[in-house]
Structure 1
Amino acid sequence: MNAITGLTPLSPLYKTQLSTTLPVQPAGQTSADTSLPATSVILGQDNSVSDSQTYSRQGQMPGAQTHYSWEADATDPLSALILAQLKSGPSGARFQGLGAALLEQLAANGGKAISQSVFASGSEISGPAALKPLQDDLRAHPNNSLTFSLTTASGATVQLSLASNDQGLAVNAEVLGGELSASELKGLSALASSFQSAIDGLSQVPPKLQLGELTQLDPKLFTSLQLNAKLQTPDGDQLFELRLDEKSRSVSLQGPSGELKLELDASNLQLLGNVTQRQSAINNYLEQFDAAQKRGQGDKDLISLFKDAFVQLNSADDQRSAAAEDRLSEKDRTLLSGLADFSASINETERYNNPMRPLEAERFSYTVSQTSSVNDEKPLELDVQQQQQSALKASYHQSLNPLVALTLSSERESQNYRYYEINDQASSSTRIAYHKGRLIEASATQQSTQNERVRTYVNGDLTRDLQTPASVTESRNLLSMINEVFEQERISQRDHRVSVLEGLLMPQRKNWLLQSSASKIAD
């Protein structure tokens, strides 16, 4: 008999009621027991059959203490993977590979429903009646869970779920409200890798956002998507939600370190600029997020997640084009970011680390948003406005000696620190307006207010209390600049058939995109 590797199926040693053969766990893993009624297989490379190499009717090795009880006949590669993952370790890490395998099997079998679960126990679970309460409880109250819903253009809904606890692992997949076409089945299978990547990213500590093609659904095949996850970590549960449809996109994550939310309004395609314009705006926003983290000493991992969410949800617009009824020209979009309107926030879990002064919280709260309006009821009187704004509130402790870690206690000798309080706001507003078809206004106003208070304590005594406000407002008339830029573009297109528009606008955008630092607005 040949050595077994991977998930290669093995033929039973004798006929059973099962019509397919049994795959086993990958080579190198511990030989363990599967509950496969009336089926026995040989493990290892020895060609002889011995009692020590044969599964019992209950799926346990002779002398082993663990019994594995299955919901359905466990003779397919997906079931073999489920068993391997149940044995792999903590229940929070058991979804590795399962999301992709479940999605691929659902697509491969034409959308036929799949339901499978396995439980490990120290004694045999006798019969379906004893097993069903365990199945119901696992699916209703899992320690770790993930659900995935995908609506097709034809109106059918694909639903998947994964659930685990200390004792068991369960998967479900079904198609409701219709049947999947061949192209939809192919598209479903193509999402498997990104689906698994998203699961693997969320399962990491700290978690990562790896949405891949989930944010770029083919609208000819799929119209909406929802992904929810609850995953245990050493510090507590992580809750995640992703929603995508034709009108909006949103991500939220809540965990021990705090929560983040991002909602995009994808309904107004008129606001979308070209790829270069959008990338410039994304880069500028990422700079604002980094500046807020540095100034407020925010959690780097949470900010990293926030940035990933912002980039990946906005990337969905790379494949979208302006609406057919769009009345905006490139000139009309000049002072826009080119991104969809959005609102976003990060709120870290507050901590109170100073026993001597329990009201001194360590916190980080950041909000940022963009709203736009297009009044095009009278095309010759077009009015386009956009508002970007942000707010940062933060407070934290810092040791007086950068070489000595701060450990606050009730002892006065530990009370040598600076306590920072940050309260900042920033905004940028732009407007382009026409009268009788002639551009009459192109303006931008940037504003930043930064307030910092620093109290210094030496051996518990307040020795300094310093407040540092900074505020600046800059209004610019950009009408001449825009007219000149587009005149140069017209001449370049006429004489050389080459566009110079983006090259001319790129260095100017800092004059109307959001800037949180007062010093940058003043430059």
Structure 2
Amino acid sequence: MMNPVTSALRFTPVYTPPAPLQIASVRQAASAVADAPATQVTLGQDTRVANAETYSSKGTLGTPVVRLVWENEGAQDKLSTQMFTSAASTNIGARFQGLGASLIEQLAANGGQRVSQSALAVGVNGSTEPGILDLQRANLREHASNSVTLSLTTASGATVNIGLYSGEQGLAVEASVSNGELNDDELKALAAMADGFQKAVDGLNQEKPSLQLGDLLKVDQSLFSGLQMSAKLELASGEQQTFDLRLNGSTRSLSLQGPSGQVQLELDSKGGALLGGKAQREAAIGNYLTQFDAARQRGKGDEQLATLFKDAFSQLNSVDDDSARPARHSSAMNTLSRSLLSGVADFTASISETVKASNPMRREEVDRFDYSVSQSTSKDGKGNSFSLQQEQQSSLKASWHSSLNPLVGLQLSRDNASQNYRYHQVNDETSSSTRASVVNGALTEASSTQQASRSERVRVYQEGVLKSDNTTSASERKSRDQLALITTLLDNDAKSRRQSGISTFEQQMADKSSAWLLQSDPSRI
């Protein structure tokens, strides 16, 4: 839900082409040379250079030749054709290109009947005995160094499983339906998800990965009750990059983890009871994204990791744009009582960069960036007498080194001459609370409290000697009675309805929401 590096979170490394790899298929005649013990076949990104002293059986220097042994030899379908092109690629970013969509489309076209295809890379003198090949295929799927899987649960309980796998052994795909069958509507909806799944796969496989989940998240929840997508991608260094996405009714979660850090996010709309209108939700999401940007800038966080964090938050909240609302959700009393809420699902989220000890002379001075933010909502009472309270809070803990001369980069070593720098430590806490009370159907209380505190300690070293140690801090807390504001906006809304038939209440509340939404800068409270 990670070895230190300075780059952003990466699911694929910068590609350095290896020596050309000649690939032949058993479907096509190919000249063959005997395997040599030093020969290595890699289907994936590989920065290793072929051993120049490796000779063929004819005693000549040359690139190794392997052949692809196909699980379903001679298949001429779109999926197999796409796989033949993909298997020949030396770029892992392109290895799964088009395969996810083709696999889902073929499963849907086959009425949900199992689809399986693989291309095993074997030396020209390697065994093609069926039993051995079956074991190799199973091993490839189970221990693939690069894999993407998708699991869907239908409302009737059937499970759709989609898998893409690649590694040094080859390339494989598999799709099946278990615990039931898919009806026509489910097959049609599954086929409609093909492009969305492929976009998500392609985004993760970019050199700078991106989250392109929008179309995938539009899954028809009346047909599919659950979704899980996972990815495991390996860098040339052997480090793993992982991704996990889960949707289950009103709850959803996402995690990203790699050498540069991790992102985690969990949301719960509580059956839609917390959700507001479009203007209210847009204002809240925009405010949260602004707070995320402010935290990254203040704590000198990694921009790429922060972008993934923001995209995850925005895209997972988009699930609620058209989701069902509970009965009486749009009644005047319910809308009024939720007017001080954010309008978005409750959540917990965090972004943590890998801790680095960049100063060998002072290992305790670590570079770090840890940011967490959450929202929780509670309700007491029932019927026409109840109260709603929403708490939002965030925490930023960050530290980093900076050069005394902005034109000269840091090159910290055990030599005192290199020890010219500032060491920053930031510790910020922010919270916001709103409360609304209804008694016998009448709004009797509407209040908000915003609070923010921030602190930064800066130590300055010159040639290893501490020259200054200063801490600056600021804090602010403000409570407001919002009942009068709501009454005024309701009067304005009634006037607008009489004159033009247009309601202005939601938009006006959204415009005023900066007075109760999360604010990390004390000077803006």
Aligned to 1:285: 288
Q: Distance in 2 between matches of 1:277 and 1:431?
A: 16
Give a deviation string over 1:345-373, Cα, whole Å, max 9, x none: 11110000101111110000010000001
- Aligned pair 1:320/2:323, yes or no? yes
Moved more, 325-334 or 392-401: 325-334
Aligned to 2:172: 170
For residue 331 of structure 1, give the secondary structure of its aligned residue in structure 2: helix
For residue 475 of structure 2, give the secondary structure of its aligned residue in structure 1: strand
Deviation at 1:196? 0.6
1:16-415, aligned counterparts within 5 Å? 32-36=23-27, 65-75=65-75, 76-91=77-92, 93-123=94-124, 124-234=126-236, 236-326=239-329, 329-379=334-384, 381-415=385-419
Give a deviation string over 1:372-412, Cα, whole Å, max 9, x none: 01224141x22111000000000000111111111111111
When normalised by structure 1's length, the TM-score is 0.87
Deviation at 1:155? 2.1
Moved more, 459-468 or 117-126: 117-126
Q: Distance in 1 between matches of 2:388 and 2:117?
A: 55
For residue 271 of structure 1, give the secondary structure of its aligned residue in structure 2: coil
For residue 382 of structure 1, give the secondary structure of its aligned residue in structure 2: strand
For residue 360 of structure 1, give the secondary structure of its aligned residue in structure 2: coil
Deviation at 1:31? 8.8
When normalised by structure 2's length, the TM-score is 0.86
Question: Which of 437, 441, 456 pairs up with 2:441?
Answer: 437
Q: Distance in 1 between matches of 2:350 and 2:211?
A: 16
Q: Distance in 1 between matches of 2:149 and 2:129?
A: 28
Question: Which of 494, 500, 525 pairs up with 1:496?
Answer: 500
Q: Distance in 1 between matches of 2:290 and 2:235?
A: 30
1:428-467, aligned counterparts within 5 Å? 428-467=432-471
For residue 72 of structure 2, give the secondary structure of its aligned residue in structure 1: coil
Q: Distance in 1 between matches of 2:483 and 2:404?
A: 51
Q: Does the 8 A contact of 1:100 with 1:196 survive in 2?
A: yes
Structure 1's 156 and 57: CA in aligned 2 closer, same or farther, altered over 3 A?
farther
For residue 391 of structure 1, give the secondary structure of its aligned residue in structure 2: strand
Deviation at 1:470? 0.9
Q: Which runs of 5+ in 1 are unaligned?
A: 1-28, 41-53
Deviation at 1:223? 1.1
For residue 484 of structure 1, give the secondary structure of its aligned residue in structure 2: helix
Deviation at 1:490? 1.2
Q: Distance in 2 between matches of 1:269 and 1:453?
A: 43
Question: Which of 422, 429, 433 pairs up with 1:425?
Answer: 429
Deviation at 1:80? 2.2
Q: Distance in 2 between matches of 1:515 and 1:65?
A: 61
For residue 183 of structure 1, give the secondary structure of its aligned residue in structure 2: helix
Deviation at 1:126? 2.3
Q: Does the 8 A contact of 2:424 with 2:459 survive in 1?
A: yes
Q: Distance in 2 between matches of 1:137 and 1:253?
A: 25
Q: Distance in 1 between matches of 2:442 and 2:421?
A: 60
Moved more, 385-394 or 493-502: 493-502
Deviation at 1:216? 2.0
Q: Does the 8 A contact of 1:161 with 1:173 survive in 2?
A: yes
Identity, % of aligned positions: 49
Q: Distance in 2 between matches of 1:410 and 1:33?
A: 54
Q: Distance in 1 between matches of 2:236 and 2:472?
A: 40
Deviation at 1:120? 1.6
Deviation at 1:234? 4.3
Deviation at 1:68? 1.4
Q: Distance in 1 between matches of 2:508 and 2:114?
A: 56
Q: Which amino acid aligns with 1:100?
A: A
Structure 1's 237 and 57: CA in aligned 2 closer, same or farther, altered over 3 A?
closer
Give a deviation string over 1:419-448, Cα, whole Å, max 9, x none: 000111000000011233332211000000
Q: Does the 8 A contact of 1:433 with 1:440 survive in 2?
A: yes
Q: Distance in 1 between matches of 2:496 and 2:368?
A: 53
Q: Does the 8 A contact of 1:142 with 1:165 survive in 2?
A: yes
Moved more, 289-298 or 151-160: 151-160
Q: Does the 8 A contact of 2:250 with 2:272 survive in 1?
A: no
For residue 103 of structure 2, give the secondary structure of its aligned residue in structure 1: helix
Q: Does the 8 A contact of 1:217 with 1:223 survive in 2?
A: no
Q: Distance in 2 between matches of 1:208 and 1:66?
A: 34
Deviation at 1:56? 8.1
Deviation at 1:337? 0.3
Aligned to 1:4: none
RMSD, aligned CA: 2.0
Moved more, 495-504 or 246-255: 495-504
- Aligned pair 1:474/2:478, yes or no? yes
Q: Distance in 2 between matches of 1:331 and 1:408?
A: 58
Q: Distance in 1 between matches of 2:499 and 2:386?
A: 30
Moved more, 267-276 or 120-129: 120-129
Q: Which amino acid aligns with 2:78?
A: P
Give a deviation string over 1:176-195, Cα, whole Å, max 9, x none: 11211122111111111110
Q: Which amino acid aligns with 2:109?
A: A
Q: Which has the higher contact order (CA 8 A, sep 6+)?
A: 2
Deviation at 1:66? 1.8
Q: Distance in 1 between matches of 2:442 and 2:191?
A: 52
Q: Distance in 1 between matches of 2:439 and 2:79?
A: 66
Deviation at 1:33? 2.4
Q: Which amino acid aligns with 1:119?
A: L
Structure 1's 503 and 126: CA in aligned 2 closer, same or farther, altered over 3 A?
closer
Deviation at 1:245? 1.4
Q: Distance in 2 between matches of 1:74 and 1:338?
A: 55
- Aligned pair 1:510/2:514, yes or no? yes
Give a deviation string over 1:232-258, Cα, whole Å, max 9, x none: 234521110000011310000110111
